[in-house]
Amino acid sequence: MDWWLLTFFLGAILSLFLQEVPAIFTLFLLLFITIGFFSHQNLRSSSGFIFGALWILSQAYLYQHLLPSSFIELMENKQTVVIEGEVLSNQVNALNISTSNFKIHSAKDKANSTSRFNFRVHKLNHQRLESPITIRLSWKNPTIDLAQGQILSLAVKLKPAHGLANVGTFNYVSWLRSHHIAATGYVINPKNKKGQEHSAKEVNVADSLDKNILLIDDITLRQRLFDHYQRHTPNHQLTPILLALAFGERSLLSPELWQVLQATGTSHLIAISGLHVGLLAGSVFYIVMVVFHYIPLQSSSWQRFNLRHIAIILSLLLATLYAYLAGFSLPTQRALVMLNLYWFSRLLAIKFSAKRLMLSTVFIILIISPFSLLTASFWLSFYAVAIIFLSLWRFNYWLNKGAVLWRFIKGLLLIQVTLTLMLMPITALFFQQISLVSILANIIAVPWMSVMSIPAALISVMLLPLSEPLAQGFMTLSLQSLTLLWYYLELLSELPYATVSLSLMQQILVLVIGIIAFIMCYFSPFLWNRMSKQGAFVLLSIVVSVSLLSAHSFNDQAQNRHLLSNSSEKRSKTGVKYQAYYGFTPWNIIFFDVGQGTSVLIKRDNHAILYDTGAAYPSGFNMSDAVIKPYLQHSGIEYLDKVIVSHSDNDHAGGIKKLSDEIAIGQVISNDKSLFTPTKSLSEDIMSETKISSHYPEPLMDCQPNNSFSWQGLTFDILWPLAERFSNGSVKSDRQQNDDSCVILVSDQQGTSLLLTGDISSKVEQKLINIYPQLTADILQVPHHGSKTSSSQAFLSQLSPDLALVSAGYLNRWNMPVPIVRQRYIDNDIPLLNSAELGQIIITVNNKGIQTQSFVNDLRPFWFSY
C-alpha cells in the first residue's frame, strides 16, 4: 500500500516534465497499461506510477479543453461577451487605519477602485454552457457592491489564461492553472446613467452588452460573517493581521506589514494552515474532554454515548468550519484530510503510521486538487509536516527524558529549530531569498501566537454571533498580543542582512548544503559511524566556508574587472584593448516578455545595460518589480552600468522610477530628464559600494550621436535622434513622440550587431538608411511592436537582419504585429520571434555565431508554465 502511494506521487511529479500534454489516444493507452499492471500480481505495486502520471495529465487535458471553440473564437476576435454566473471570491471593504506611528492606505480607493475576483460562468451570451468555467475578472469602478455568492450578468472582454513568461519571475499561468482558472478579462462599465438600477426582469438580450446587472443577491455565509466581523474590528494598525488570522484574508496587508513578515520569515503564521487548524482541533478536543470529566452526567442516556467520540466530532466540525472561513485553502485542505484520517483511524482502531498518513494525505489532495502540485504551498506544507515527523522520530529518546514541562520545552525548541533550518533550502528555491533572523523570530512568534493571538482571534469569531461586546474584547486581546510581538519582529527586521536575496547559483548552493545537512541529521544512524559523522561535519563546514569566500572574492573580482574594463575603454573606444586583454567572451541579449512594451538587457561578464524598462500601471503593478529585478537577482547582477530610455511612452519608460529606487544605476541615458530623479541608485553610499561613480561623472546623459560609447568591448553607436532635432527642442519636449526614440546600434569585435529601434516610424527608418547607407544589423528589434506604420520594405531590405524580435502583448487590442508586417518579414526570409508567443527570448553571441533560446521552447519547456 505505501509503495503504491509513493509511486503514485512520483508518477505525478514526473508528469510535470513533459513539454506537451499527450493526445487523448495516448492517455487512453496509458489507462489500459495501468489496468494491465494493476491486474498483474507482480506489477500491481508499480501501477501507481503510471496512474499518478495519467491522473495529472488527464486533468491537464481536460483543463486545456475547458473553453468551447466558439468561446475561444470570440476571445481571439476581442469581442465583448455577456456572461452570467457566480462571484467566487470573498470581497473585502477598505480599511482606513491610522495611528501616530503607522498608517495604512486603503487598497480600494472609492474614487478609483478596482475589484479583482474569480467568477464561475454558467451562461455565455445567454446560452448555457455544458459545464461551468472559472475565470478571473477585474472591474474598475464597479457599479455593483460585489459579494461572494452573488449571481451577476456582466459585459466583459476575455482572453484565454496567459501570463508573462520570464525566467526567475512569478509564473502567472501556473497560478491560474492551480486555481483552475481558464480565462482572464475585465468588466466593461455600463453606459447608462449613474444610479440607474436594474432587476432580473429588466434584462433585455438586445441591449445587455452595455449593462452589468445583479440577478440574485444570495450572499454566502462566509461573506456575511466576514462583513459582520470587519465592521466590529478595532481601529488598529494590525487589524489586517487579525483578519488574516480569523478568515485567511490577506489582501488588506500593507507593504509595510509584508516587509516585516518576509524579513523575519513569519509569513506562514498569518496564513491559515495546518498549525491553525490543528491548534483549533486539538484545543476543542481537550476542552470537551475536560468539561465532560468535571461535569457529572448522571443521566443514563449520556452513558450510552462514548464521550471521546463526541469530542472528536466537535473537533472535526469546528476545524471544518474554520477551514470554510479560510476559503478551504490548500494548507487547510491538507490539515483537514490529515485530521480526518487520524481521527477515523483512532475510531476504527486501525494502525496508521506517520508515513502512511502522509502518503494517504498526498494521494487524497492530488485527487481532489491535482494542480496543487504546481504551488509552493503544497511543497512547503507537506515538507514541513514531514520534517516534524522525522524530527520526533529521530530525537525521540532525547525528547522523552526529563520532567513533563522540560520535555514540552525541548519538543517546542527542537521542532522550531529543525523547521526553520530545513525549510531554508526549499524557501530559497521558491522565493529566491532566505531570512537569517527567522529562527530568532519564529522561536518566539510561534508559541506566542499559538497560545495568545490565534486562540483569541478564533474565540472572537465564535463569540460574534452571540455577543458583540465580548467578541470585541477578544479582538482587542488578540491585537494587544500581536502589538507586543510586532515590536520584537520590527526590531529583527531592521537588522542588517535580515533577508538575503539569492541568485540561481546561490540557491543551488543553499540546496546542496540543505541536502547534506538533511542526510547528516536524519539518516546518519544508518549510514555513518561516529568518525564518519565528524568527517561529514568537517566537510560541510569546508563547503560553506569555501562558498562564502568564493562569493566574496567573486564580487571583488567583478568590481575590479569593472574598473579595469572601464579604464581600458577610456583609452580605446574600439574595444581592441579589451579583446587583447580578455579575448572574445560571449555576450547575451535578453529580450524580456513585458507584454505590450519593451525591455532589453545586454549582458557581458556579469555586467549589464538595460534598454527600456517596460510599463507601470496605476494599480502599482510595474515591469520593474515583476520582470526586470527578479531576473537580475536570478542572474546575480547587483547593479546596472547604464539604463537607456528610448522615449517617454509608458510602455517603454514606466518602470524607470521604480527601478532607480531599488537598483544601483551608473548612468541613465534619456532625452526626457523628468523621467528620472537620482535617488538611492546614485547616492554616494551605493556608488562607493559598487565603485562605479568615478566612471560616470554625469549620471544623466542625452541620447545623441556625440554621446556614443564603448562598454565591455561592445560599441554603442547612437544613430538617432540627430543634433538638429535637439536644436529645435522637439526631443526635449515634455511629451516625446515615437519618432524621438533613441536608436542604437550595438556591435562586438566580430562584427555581430544589434539594432535597437524603440518606436520609430517608417519616416525615421527612411532617414536612417539615407544617413547611414552602409547600415546593416544581424539582430533587429522590430520598430513599434510591429505596427503598420513601421518595418518598411526599404528598411528591411537594407538591414537584411538574420533575426527579428518583436515585443507585443498577448491578443493586444492593436493586433500587433499586424498581418501585413508579419508577411513582410516572411517575404524577406527574416525569422520573426514574438514574445507574446515565445515568452522571454535570450540570444547568445559567441565564437560560433548567434544562438537563440526562448522560454516556451528551451528555458522552461513544460506544459504547465505557458
Lowest pLDDT segment from 408-417, 493-502, 781-790: 408-417
Predicted pLDDT of residue 766: 94
Asked if residue 378 and residue 266 are part of one domain, the reply reads yes
The whole-angstrom separation of Cα 197 and Cα 517 is 64
Tell me: pLDDT of 567 over 90: no
Of 96-100, 146-150, 402-406, 804-808, the range with the lowest mean pLDDT is 96-100
**Enclosing domain of residue 106:** 87-219
Q: What is the DSSP letter of 423?
A: H
200 and 258 share one domain: no
Is 212 within the bounds of a domain? yes
560 part of a folded domain: no
- Round to whole Å and give the CA distance between 478 and 236: 11
- Considering the domain architecture, whether residues 210 and 296 belong to the same structural domain is answered as no
Q: Are residues 389 and 499 in the same domain?
A: yes
* Model pLDDT for residues 826-866, shown as the tens digit of each residue: 999 999 999 999 999 999 999 888 999 999 999 998 999 88
Please write the tens of the pLDDT for every residue from 586-604: 999 999 999 999 999 999 9
Lowest mean pLDDT among 349-353, 479-483, 646-650, 686-690: 686-690
pLDDT in tens, 463-481: 888 888 999 999 999 999 9
Question: Distance from first CA to last CA of the chain, Å, rounded?
Answer: 35
In a shared domain, residues 394 and 536? no
For residue 621, the 8-state DSSP code is -
pLDDT at 696: 54
**Dihedral in degrees, nearest 10, Cα atoms 566, 568, 569, 571:** 130
Query: Whole-angstrom Cα distance, residue 252 to residue 96?
Result: 10
| Shared domain check, 118 and 256 | no
pLDDT of 201: 38
In a domain, 225, yes or no: no
Clarify whether residues 662 and 529 are in a common domain.
no
Length of the chain: 866
Does residue 217 carry a pLDDT above 60?
Answer: yes
Could you please report the per-residue DSSP string of 207-233? TGGG--EEEE----HHHHHHHHHHHTS
* Grid coordinates given for 155: 459585459
Same structural domain, 701 and 628: yes
Are 392 and 487 contained in the same domain?
Answer: yes
Last residue of a domain, one of 503, 520, 544: 503
C-alpha cell at 292: 465532560
Determine the pLDDT at residue 605: 87
Choosing from 14, 29, 64, the residue where a domain stops is: 64
Indicate whether 502 pLDDT > 70: yes
The enclosing domain of 805 has a CATH number of 3.60.15.10
Q: Is residue 329 part of a domain?
A: yes
Distance CA 592, CA 835 (A): 8
656-688 pLDDT, tens digit per residue, is 988 988 889 999 999 888 876 655 444 444 444
Q: Beta strands 213-216 and 151-160: pairing type? A: antiparallel
pLDDT, residue 822, reads 95
The CB density around residue 39, as the number of other CB atoms within 10 Å, is: 10
Residue 588, in any domain of the structure: yes
Residues in contact with 90: Cβ distance below 8 Å, sequence separation at least 6, in sequence order: 148, 222, 223, 226, 247, 249, 327
- Mean pLDDT over 235-260 rounds to 88
Ramachandran area for residue 52 (φ above 0: left; ψ -120 to 50: alpha; else beta):
alpha
Residues 604 and 490 reside in one and the same domain: no
Q: What is the pLDDT of residues 98-134, one digit of tens each?
A: 444 443 443 344 445 788 999 999 999 988 998 899 9
The total domain count for the chain is: 5
Nearest in space to 478 (alpha carbons), one of 228, 243, 222, 223: 243
Asked whether the CA dihedral 193, 194, 199, 200 is positive or negative, the reply is positive
Which of 97-101, 246-250, 516-520 is modeled with the greatest confidence?
A: 246-250
526-553: average pLDDT: 54
> Quick one: 50 and 110 in the same domain?
no
Residue 271, pLDDT score: 76
| pLDDT tops 50 at residue 562 | no
Q: Is the domain of 398 the same as that of 450?
A: yes
Residue pair 275/333 in contact (Cβ under 8 Å)? The answer is: no
Cis? peptide before 425, omega within 30° of 0: no
10 by DSSP, 3-state: which?
Answer: helix
Q: Is the pLDDT of residue 76 over 50?
A: yes
pLDDT at 420: 83
The pTM of this model reads: 0.84
| Domain stop point among 468, 503, 538 | 503
For residue 226, being part of any structural domain is answered with no
As a whole-number percent, the residues of the chain with pLDDT over 90 amount to 40
Structure-block grid coordinates of residue 324: 470554510
Given a cut of 60, whether residue 192 has pLDDT beyond it is: no
> What is the full DSSP assignment across 154-222?
EEEEEEES-----TTS--HHHHHHHTT--EEEEEPPP-SPTT----GGG--TTTGGG--EEEE----HH
pLDDT given at position 689? 45
Q: Kindly report the average pLDDT of the chain as a whole number.
A: 82
Evaluate if residue 97 carries a pLDDT over 90. no
Summarize the confidence of residues 303-309 as an average pLDDT. 69
In this prediction, residue 443 carries a pLDDT of 87
- Whether 389 contacts 354, CB under 8 Å: yes
Asked if residue 75 is part of any domain, the answer here is: no
Q: What is the pLDDT of residue 646?
A: 93
Displacement of CA 236 from its chain's centroid (Å): 29
Residue 98 lies in a domain: yes
CB count within 10 Å of CB 21 equals 21
- Quick: pLDDT tens for 719-772: 989 866 655 556 655 556 888 899 999 999 888 999 999 999 999 999 999 999
Residue with cell 473553453: 67
pLDDT at 574: 38
Share of the chain above pLDDT 70, in %: 83
Q: Provide φ and ψ at 692, rounded to 5°.
A: -120, -5
